[in-house]
Every structure is written in structure tokens, then in C-alpha cells.
């Protein structure tokens, strides 16, 4: 069983495509959860899910509105440096995610294999070496930290997606986007690669 997480909307973002992806991709083998854009509540919910489910893999999703590509993250750093408050009004700056944790964690996903599989299907995908210092990096680090503490060595990591074209068409400014069907297909391909790698 794979745990798939996305986020609710935040700040001036009207909606978050990752919440749609979670809803569309839930199946008998995929448990979906839309996390709050809150450092405290996301942490509590994520840790509870991982400890209760003991998943065979974890894939966290987030929105990166800068480019119309799928970004597979390779590194999560032990730092919160929030440029804006979360949805609870909290804005930690220069704070470690876990004072007892390592400086960083590397993704446990087959990152390069996912990129290759996506490109073979004509989907623009790239490896990324920075998940930022906001909620996306936070959730990636917390996922890997929780699994590490539990001694669970399973595929886990983070993928950033752009706006869906459907969402972009309703916005007042031009933003990079991909059709929701393309983004959904990309994440399904990633899930398939993860499943294959975990059973190899």
C-alpha cells in the first residue's frame, strides 16, 4: 500500500492541483490524504498516518507554480525558513525541522527512473535538488525522518507539479501549467515505477 499526500490551497493560491490528484488516484493500493498547509497540523497528521498505516511507500506531492514541468525532488533539508505564514498564521524562520535530525535526507524514491519513464511518455520531467524551505520541504523531511525513526526503509519522497491548465485558465495572470490529465498520468507513472522498484 502506498500513502499519497497532497496539500490544500494557501495564501493567494485559489486551489491546489495536488488535492485533485490525491482524490483521482486513490485506489485499493493507494491511500490518499490532503494535508493542511500548517507546520504543526501537517506534522501531526503525517506522522500519525505513517505510524498507523506502515506503508510500503510514501509519495508526497506539492505545487511548484514556476515552471510547466514535473520536478522529482532529491533532497530535503532540516530547515524551515517560511517566506509567508502558513494557514494557521505561523511563520518560522531559521528553525530546524528536527533539532535531533540530520542536516538533510535524500529521497528514497527511484528518482532517475521516474524521470526517464515520464520523458519516455513525452512528459517534461526533471530532477530537482531543492524542495525549498516551506511546507513541501518540511513534509518531505518529516516523512523521511519518521520512516528513519521507525526503521522503515521504504521508497519515499516528493514530487512537485505545476498548475493544471484548467486552474490556469481561471486565473487573472499567466502562469505555467500542464493539463490535469497529463499531471495525473505523470503521477500514475511515478506510482507504477515506485511499485515496481519496491517489489524488485
Catalytic positions:
73, 136, 160
- Which run of H or E residues covers position 25? helix 17-25
CB atoms within 10 A of CB 79: 18
- CA 102-93-70 angle, to 5 degrees, is 70
Q: Are 184 and 87 in contact (CB under 8 A)?
A: no
Distance CA 51, CA 77 (A): 22
List C-alpha distances in Å: 28 to 31, 53, 92, 159: 8, 14, 37, 22
Pairing of β 70-73 and β 156-161: antiparallel
Q: Are 156 and 66 in contact (CB under 8 A)?
A: no
Amino acid at each position: 500500500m502506498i500513502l499519497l499526500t497532497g496539500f490544500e490551497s494557501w495564501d493567494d493560491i485559489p486551489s491546489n492541483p495536488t488535492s485533485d490528484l490525491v482524490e483521482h488516484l486513490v485506489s485499493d493500493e493507494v491511500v490518499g490524504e490532503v494535508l493542511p498547509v500548517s507546520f504543526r497540523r501537517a506534522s501531526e497528521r503525517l506522522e500519525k498516518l505513517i505510524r498507523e498505516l506502515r506503508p510500503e511507500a510514501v509519495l508526497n506531492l506539492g505545487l511548484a507554480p514556476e515552471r510547466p514541468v514535473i520536478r522529482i525532488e532529491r533532497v530535503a533539508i532540516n530547515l524551515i525558513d517560511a517566506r509567508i505564514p502558513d494557514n494557521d498564521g505561523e511563520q518560522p524562520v531559521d528553525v530546524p525541522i528536527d533539532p535531533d535530525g540530520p542536516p538533510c535526507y535524500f529521497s528514497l524514491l527511484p528518482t532517475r527512473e521516474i524521470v526517464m519513464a515520464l520523458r519516455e511518455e513525452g512528459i517534461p520531467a526533471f530532477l530537482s535538488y531543492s524542495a525549498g524551505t516551506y511546507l513541501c520541504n518540511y513534509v518531505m523531511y518529516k516523512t523521511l525522518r519518521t520512516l528513519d525513526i521507525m526503521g522503515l526503509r521504504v521508497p519515499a519522497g516528493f514530487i512537485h507539479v505545476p498548475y493544471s491548465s484548467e486552474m490556469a485558465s481561471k486565473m487573472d495572470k499567466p502562469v505555467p501549467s500542464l493539463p490535469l490529465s497529463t499531471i495525473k498520468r505523470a503521477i500514475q507513472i511515478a506510482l507504477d515505477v515506485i511499485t515496481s522498484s519496491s517489489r524488485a
